[in-house]
Amino acid sequence: MSNPLYPLHAYCFSLFICSLSRFSVDLTDCYYEQFHLISKDPSFTVRSDGAIVAVAEVSVTTRGRTFSVLAEDNTGRESELEVHLAIAPQKKEVILAVARTKRRWSPPPLEIPENDLGPFPKAVETIRSDSEAKEPVYYEISGPGVDQGFFTLDRETGILYVHQTIDREKIPKFIVIVSAFSRRTNQQSDQPLDLAINVLDKNDNAPEFKDSLQFTVLEQSNPGTVVGQVNGTDKDEENTFRTKIKYTLLSGTDLFAIHPETGVITTVTNTLDRELVIVQLQDMFGASDGLSTTGTATITVGDINDNPPTFTKTSYEASVPENESEKLILRIPVVDRDLINTPNWVSKFVITKGNENGNFRIDTDPKTNDGLLYVSKPLDYEKTKSIKLDVMARNVAELTGTTAQWSSIPVNVNVIDVDEGPEFTAPTIRFIVKENVPNNTLIGTYTASDPETKSSDGIKYYKVTDPASWISVDKNTGELRVANTIDRESNFVQDGIYNITMKAVDSTSKTGMGKVILQVEDENDNIPVVPISDLVICETQGKFGSVLVVAEDKDQPPFSAPFTFSLPTDKDGKWSVTRLNDTTATLNQIQDLPTGIYSVPVVIKDLQGFGDKQTVKVRICNCVNGVCKDRPSSISLGPLALLAMLLPLALLLLLCILLAFFCRTKGDKIELEDAGDGGGILLKSNTEGRGEEVDPTLITVLPFEKNTGLNSGWQDTKNMTGLGGHSVQENGMYKSGVDMQDFFSSHHGSHYDQLTGHGGGGGGMGFDSRHLVQDSSFFHTWQTNGLYLQPKLPYLGGEHDGRYADDIIHSYGFEGVGSAAGSVGCCSDFGDNDSLEFLNTLGPKFKTLADVCTKK
């Protein structure tokens, strides 16, 4: 043992050789918990309980075998222990299965090394159940490791086998279930066993860098300044010596240092530049048999603003013509040694002196970092011939790490004289004028002079803008006079102000501009008026209505409101007026008035008593939601619209006159003969009452005999035709079975009495058929049909039969007045018929008339 920390001696180990592939060394008497123990021989590993276990097949000769175990205490101090292996003299080899004759059913977790290369299958452990002492058993195994093909169990012997290499970083532990069954009953002879199999870690993963290796530190940083931290990670088992990382710098150690445990990089000098350093990660805290990884860390030295911008000259001079603005007059370059395009390099210029009037501004060229001096307001050579400025250059960032200060330089700006146009005595002049003053009234004089000579000789004056043409200008003197009536209430006047633009032109045609403001004073030239004269009062039962009358006056105070309202002396006593406020009065109805439109005169005067009578139209009506519901629409048509409406009527009238004139003058006068019956097509008609008139001669009259009763006359007539085309059968009965006597007497009683000579519909006395023939209209078709239908109606269901209104007899009154639309008559049954074929069947009279009208 070298560099001993504790008295570790060979006698504290007891060696047990179990086979050529597995043995253990007991370190329980060596206080192993005070150390981190690592085998330097990859064929062995030190377990957590201090036992050294062979993880691979070990060959031991008669000379024995020696390897080292590294011991490290909690402070990081290391010692190395030599382990000597020798073969026991009494046995060269002991088979594991023979050595272990009995196993308890609940063994401690089994352990297998990761990355074992075989050969496979390899025995791991023999499982024994306590029930095996009582009866023969067999074993079965299940679980994730079995399903994946890692483990099998010999059901007869209980030996557990591993079949393939296992990576602990993927599967650190297996839980398999072992069951014992009676060979006699095939029933479980013991409770199932959850067997844990831990995969022993091996240092097979080198540490890795976890984060980026990009760091920045400002220049001139003091030694010990933290640059950044390197973070490493290891996939091996956590909190073991195999994953303890040691950080080391392989380069740049003259500029930086790194803490071996935390990985924090610090500076060791203040003379830094952009650097690349190589960092090494070692597990097992740098043990010689540990694994390592290297990476390149980039450490950028950040710039600080320790260099102010400096001017390339000690002073500058520039020239600018007068009256010019927004013009670049000077470019001022600077030099800055800080990092380009950073706040430490970008310049910012300030005019510290000479720009009290704001005639200049200075900007920064973003590409060159130069200062750009502009004239922003025109300069006047006659007032200022040169200006001295002081310009300071500074950075966006403040200075640090240096004692230097911002620098300034003088800049002299010369103003160049330019031949200018005339200038008015003032850029803007104001005159006060009253409205309605007479034309040619002098308002004032507005003149200009040459800025160099101060003379007005040869200068002419003109108007540029005069919206309402109210002003005339004397071009030689600049006098302003009234040209048209000035009205303060004009739309060209805003808040009593009227603007005019003037121009002065010298002999060299150079011009100068000026502005004239006319402040127009008000006069009482407008009376109060009522802009809305059509007012509405909604009629309310038992109440008198009122309406608000609002007046306005275009004049300004004191020539306008407050107004006075009154009724004229000749008022009709239907209305009263009461002043509500300065511009409004209430017009009250004091009599009960019918609906309609009323013109109410109201006298309205302004504050000066200037006013007149105004007529207010008031409409009294029935309202719906405050609006007259019977108010007619008012549409005003212009002359062209009226002409367009009357023109077709005039053309139609002219056409009728021409047609009449043409027929009278061009056609021959022909006597039309009455050829007798027109076949029922062309009939005379003079209907002035209800219905349509029909010639009674067209109606077939019933052939009643003389001196016989109505009943007998009809009974003796067989198969007669009449009464609207209906056949009358024997015994005076219709086919429908209605007695004709009852027909006439019951439903046309009064008319029947006149024919029979009986009143009240009684008696069985007959009547002369001549009476019936003389009153031939009685048999008009429409009347006959009416008489026939009349008795049929009572046979329809009445209201008591549950029938509805359409089936019930209704009474209709005739008031003797025809429809305004005219009679529809029988033609309504034909509907629309555009065919003209009927013209060929109208007979000879119509053809003759057509020939007369079409003859040329």
Max CA distance (Å), the chain: 178
The domain spanning residue 89 has which CATH number? 2.60.40
Q: Is the pLDDT of residue 837 over 70?
A: no
Q: Is the pLDDT of residue 768 over 70?
A: no
Q: Which of 377, 362, 381, 373 is nearest to 324 (CA)?
A: 377
What count of other Cβ atoms lies within 10 Å of the Cβ of residue 233? 14
Percent of the chain with pLDDT over 90: 20
Q: Is the pLDDT of residue 18 over 80?
A: no
pLDDT at 782: 58
CA angle 282, 287, 288 (to 5 degrees): 105
Residue with tokens 């299965």: 97
Q: Which of 348, 461, 448, 449 is nearest to 395 (CA)?
A: 348
831-851 mean pLDDT: 67
What count of other Cβ atoms lies within 10 Å of the Cβ of residue 412? 14
| Antiparallel, parallel or unpaired: β 471-473 and 479-482 | antiparallel
Same domain assignment for residues 90 and 5: yes
As beta bridge partners, residue 502 has 463, 514
Q: Is the pLDDT of residue 722 over 60?
A: no
Angle between helices 781-792 and 740-747 (to 10 degrees): 90
Final residue belonging to a domain, choices 74, 99, 124 = 99
Same domain assignment for residues 214 and 290: yes
pLDDT at 585: 92
Give the whole-angstrom CA distance, residue 152 versus residue 306.
Answer: 75
Quick check: is 669 in a domain?
no
CB of 492 closer than 8 Å to CB of 500: no
DSSP string covering 194-251? EEEEEEEP-S----EE-S--EEEEETTPPTT-EEEE--EE-SS-TTSGGG--EEEESS
Higher pLDDT, 202 or 351: 351
351-357 mean pLDDT: 92
CB of 740 closer than 8 Å to CB of 734: yes
Give the whole-angstrom CA distance, residue 549 versus residue 535.
Answer: 8
Q: Which of 28, 17, 191 is nearest to 87 (CA)?
A: 17
812-823 mean pLDDT: 54
Count how many Cα atoms sit within 13 Å of the Cα of residue 400 in the half-sphere of its side chain.
Answer: 14
Burial of 781 (0-12, 13-18, 19+ CB in 10 A): middle
Structural domain of 730: 702-807
Q: Is the pLDDT of residue 198 over 50?
A: yes
The domain spanning residue 123 has which CATH number? 2.60.40.60
pLDDT at 541: 81
**How is residue 532 written in tokens?**
């809305």
**pLDDT category, 811, cuts 50, 70, 90?**
low
CB contact set of 631 (below 8 Å; sequence gap of 6+): 619, 621
**pLDDT category, 534, cuts 50, 70, 90?**
confident
402-417 mean pLDDT: 90
Q: Is the pLDDT of residue 74 over 50?
A: yes
pLDDT at 10: 31
The CA distances from residue 293 to 206, 279, 590, in Å, are 6, 8, 113
Residue with tokens 């039969």: 801
pLDDT at 701: 45
pLDDT at 744: 44
As beta bridge partners, residue 497 has 494, 519
**How is residue 455 written in tokens?**
């003379």
Higher pLDDT, 200 or 798: 200
Same domain assignment for residues 410 and 428: no
591-614 mean pLDDT: 89
Same domain assignment for residues 59 and 93: yes
Quick check: is 644 in a domain?
no
| Antiparallel, parallel or unpaired: β 460-465 and 497-505 | antiparallel
Quick check: is 667 in a domain?
no
Final residue belonging to a domain, choices 154, 177, 202 = 202
Q: If you average pLDDT over each of 149-163, 237-251, 473-487, 820-834, which comes out highest?
A: 473-487
Count how many Cα atoms sit within 13 Å of the Cα of residue 47 in the half-sphere of its side chain.
Answer: 20
Same domain assignment for residues 125 and 174: yes
Q: Which of 76, 72, 63 is nearest to 32 (CA)?
A: 72
Higher pLDDT, 79 or 823: 79
3-state secondary structure of 363: strand
pLDDT at 581: 92
Quick check: is 791 in a domain?
yes
726-730 mean pLDDT: 40
pLDDT at 442: 93
Lowest average pLDDT, out of 81-90, 422-431, 556-565, goes to 81-90
Same domain assignment for residues 348 and 370: yes
482-495 mean pLDDT: 90
pLDDT at 35: 61
Go through the chain and tell me how many residues it has.
856
Burial of 18 (0-12, 13-18, 19+ CB in 10 A): middle
CB of 45 closer than 8 Å to CB of 52: yes
The CA distances from residue 127 to 143, 192, 840, in Å, are 16, 12, 129
Lowest average pLDDT, out of 225-229, 470-474, 728-732, goes to 728-732
Burial readout 598-615 (b: 16 or more C-beta within 10 A, e: otherwise)? bebebbbbbbeebbeebe
What count of other Cβ atoms lies within 10 Å of the Cβ of residue 278? 14
DSSP category for residue 340? T
Higher pLDDT, 741 or 414: 414
As beta bridge partners, residue 472 has 481
**pLDDT category, 3, cuts 50, 70, 90?**
very low
Give the whole-angstrom CA distance, residue 763 versus residue 565.
Answer: 87
Alpha helices, DSSP H only, in 686-747?
A: 710-716, 740-747
Q: Is the pLDDT of residue 755 over 50?
A: no
pLDDT at 730: 41
Same domain assignment for residues 152 and 68: no
What is the chain's mean pLDDT, rounded?
75
For 451-595, strand residue ranges (E) read: 460-465, 471-473, 479-482, 497-505, 511-521, 534-538, 546-550, 564-566, 575-579, 584-589
Percent of the chain with pLDDT over 70: 69
**pLDDT category, 557, cuts 50, 70, 90?**
confident
CA angle 596, 599, 601 (to 5 degrees): 150
CB of 409 closer than 8 Å to CB of 358: no
Quick check: is 491 in a domain?
yes
CB of 763 closer than 8 Å to CB of 749: no
Quick check: is 655 in a domain?
no
**pLDDT category, 690, cuts 50, 70, 90?**
low
**H or E segment at 774?**
helix 769-774
Q: Which of 574, 571, 632 is nearest to 602 (CA)?
A: 571
Q: Is the pLDDT of residue 711 over 70?
A: no
**How is residue 148 written in tokens?**
């994946």
Predicted confidence (pLDDT) per residue in 617-667, tens digit? 999 898 887 788 765 544 455 566 677 778 888 888 888 888 877 666 545
**How is residue 25 written in tokens?**
């060394």
711-722 mean pLDDT: 40
Q: Is the pLDDT of residue 351 over 90?
A: yes
What count of other Cβ atoms lies within 10 Å of the Cβ of residue 231? 16
Residue with tokens 């791991």: 124
Q: Is the pLDDT of residue 764 over 80?
A: no
In three-state form (DSSP H/G/I as H, E/B as E, the rest C), the secondary structure along 59-87 is CCCCCCEEEEEEEECCCCCEEEEEEEECC
CB of 143 closer than 8 Å to CB of 171: no
The CA distances from residue 427 to 202, 209, 475, 514, in Å, are 97, 78, 18, 5
Angle between helices 749-756 and 740-747 (to 10 degrees): 110
pLDDT at 810: 58
Same domain assignment for residues 799 and 723: yes
Q: If you average pLDDT over each of 16-20, 158-162, 682-686, which comes out highest?
A: 158-162
14-34 mean pLDDT: 42
**pLDDT category, 441, cuts 50, 70, 90?**
very high
CB contact set of 665 (below 8 Å; sequence gap of 6+): none
Same domain assignment for residues 296 and 373: no
Q: Is the pLDDT of residue 766 over 50?
A: no
Q: If you average pLDDT over each of 43-57, 600-614, 796-810, which comes out highest?
A: 600-614
Q: What are phi and psi of 237, to 5 degrees?
A: -60, 130
Q: Which of 19, 16, 161, 17 is nearest to 95 (CA)?
A: 19
Q: Is the pLDDT of residue 551 over 70?
A: yes
**How is residue 250 written in tokens?**
């392989």
Same domain assignment for residues 91 and 2: yes
Q: What are phi and psi of 642, to 5 degrees?
A: -65, -40
DSSP string covering 669-709? --PPP--S--TTSS------SSS----GGGSPPP-PPTT--
CB of 540 closer than 8 Å to CB of 623: no
Give the whole-angstrom CA distance, residue 575 versus residue 586.
Answer: 10
- Sequence letter at residue 288: S
Higher pLDDT, 802 or 116: 116
Higher pLDDT, 632 or 852: 852
Final residue belonging to a domain, choices 48, 76, 99 = 99
DSSP category for residue 109? P
Looking at the structure of the chain, the number of domains it has is 7
Same domain assignment for residues 61 and 159: no
371-393 mean pLDDT: 91
Give the whole-angstrom CA distance, residue 291 versus residue 393.
Answer: 58
| Antiparallel, parallel or unpaired: β 78-85 and 65-72 | antiparallel
**pLDDT category, 467, cuts 50, 70, 90?**
very high
Quick check: is 712 in a domain?
yes
Higher pLDDT, 826 or 384: 384
Same domain assignment for residues 190 and 215: no
Quick check: is 57 in a domain?
yes
**pLDDT category, 756, cuts 50, 70, 90?**
very low
Q: Is the pLDDT of residue 423 over 50?
A: yes
